[in-house]
Amino acid sequence: MQLRLGSIVEALGGELHGDPRREVDGLAPLESATPSQLSFLGNARLLSLLPSSKAGCVIVAPAQFEAARARGDCIVAPHPYLYFARVTQLWKRLSSPPAGPAIHPSAVVDPEAVVHPTARIGALCVVERGVHIGPGTVLKARVTVAEGCVIGDRCTLHPGAVIGADGFGFAPNAGVWEKIEQLGGVRIGNDVDIGANTCIDRGALADTVIEDGVKLDNLIQVGHNVRIGRNTAIAGCAGIAGSANIGAHCTIGGAAMILGHLTLADGVNISAGSFVSRSILKPGHYSGIFPIDDNASWEKNAATLKQLHKLRDRVKALEKKT
């Protein structure tokens, strides 16, 4: 596919400095872009990469205009990274083939499910009884939405996602586990993205709730009765245990784990790989990761760590003496 620079600014705004008839056939980072590609300077700290970029055109912020124009063609826009996002959307829209049927014939959709006519259900999906799927929502291939779950508008569910499996609930009874049937559902708001093979369990009594604009990456586990506030983004392999209450506008890094029944305030950022074992009621950036080291050093430090409390006592004793 080829796109004229003039068509891009016509569709997305921004100020083109250069030849509107110049065509680009792809998008690429500054370092690797060729003269037939469009690039962007999303972060002023990468300014040093600009002069030598071979890109046919670069999207820049107004503050970088002079540097960019000295190099060659550019599009000036207040938020170059956002502008770039919109170019990807334009590109995708123009390069996609005409859509097939709204519900792929291989999908198994219960007659008592309600799928909006503008929603799309991919190959080999399962949509069970009582499900509602809103306008513009897309289920890619092999997604399961179990009984009674509700999915809002303009959501995207990637392959293998499972919405509404039973929450993990059992009552102990003389050494064996007795099932607590999970009678709640899952309610997913609008503009939610759910990654491949991610699981969101149905609630025990009330519903599990994913609010508008939440973005979940792949292979994430969301337990029963969790609530994830609007526009929170969670990276791959994270786990959110049952009844956790995650605020809005949070970011949770990959493989982070949130214990059950905790609360995270709005605007909390959890580093990848961290284990959240207590509620966090103030916005901010939180971490808890064992630093990686060469194995021999790690072994020595880990062994000392197992004696750390005693080491503290020894320091205390020394302090008393001196």
210-269 binders of a copy of itself (CB under 8 A): 213, 215, 217-219, 221, 223, 231, 233, 235-237, 239, 241, 249, 254-255, 257, 259
Residue 25 as a binder of a copy of itself (CB under 8 A): the answer is no
By CB under 8 A, the residues from 30 to 89 that bind a copy of itself are 32, 79, 81-82, 84-86, 88-89
- C-alpha 70/C-alpha 80 separation (Å) is 18
Residue 175 as a binder of a copy of itself (CB under 8 A): the answer is yes
Residue 306 as a binder of a copy of itself (CB under 8 A): the answer is yes
Find the part of the chain contacting a copy of itself (CB under 8 A) among 15-23, 55-63, 70-78, 282-290.
282-290
Any catalytic annotation for residue 224?
yes
By CB under 8 A, the residues from 84 to 113 that bind a copy of itself are 84-86, 88-89, 91-92, 97, 104, 106, 108
Minimum gap (Å) between residue 131 Cβ and a copy of itself: 12
Say which of 17, 224, 249, 285 is annotated catalytic: 224
- C-alpha 147/C-alpha 201 separation (Å) is 12
DSSP string for residues in 81-122? HHHHHHHHHHHHHHHSPPP--SB-TT-EE-TT-EE-TT-EE-
Residue 219 DSSP label: S
Indicate the length of the chain as a whole number.
322
By the 8 A CB rule, do 58 and 76 touch?
Answer: no
- C-alpha 1/C-alpha 222 separation (Å) is 39
- C-alpha 245/C-alpha 265 separation (Å) is 8
Residue 135 as a binder of a copy of itself (CB under 8 A): the answer is no
Residue 278 DSSP label: S
Minimum gap (Å) between residue 102 Cβ and a copy of itself: 16
Place of tokens 């519903």: 207
Give the interface size with a copy of itself as a residue count (CB under 8 A): 123
CB-nearer residue toward a copy of itself: 21 or 306:
306
Q: Binding a copy of itself by CB under 8 A: which of 120, 158, 187, 227?
A: 158
Minimum gap (Å) between residue 1 Cβ and a copy of itself: 10
Q: Binding a copy of itself by CB under 8 A: which of 196, 246, 250, 252?
A: 196
Residue 185 as a binder of a copy of itself (CB under 8 A): the answer is no
By the 8 A CB rule, do 157 and 140 touch?
Answer: yes
Both tokens assigned to 68: 């960019």
Residue 180 DSSP label: -
Q: Which residues are known catalytic residues?
A: 224
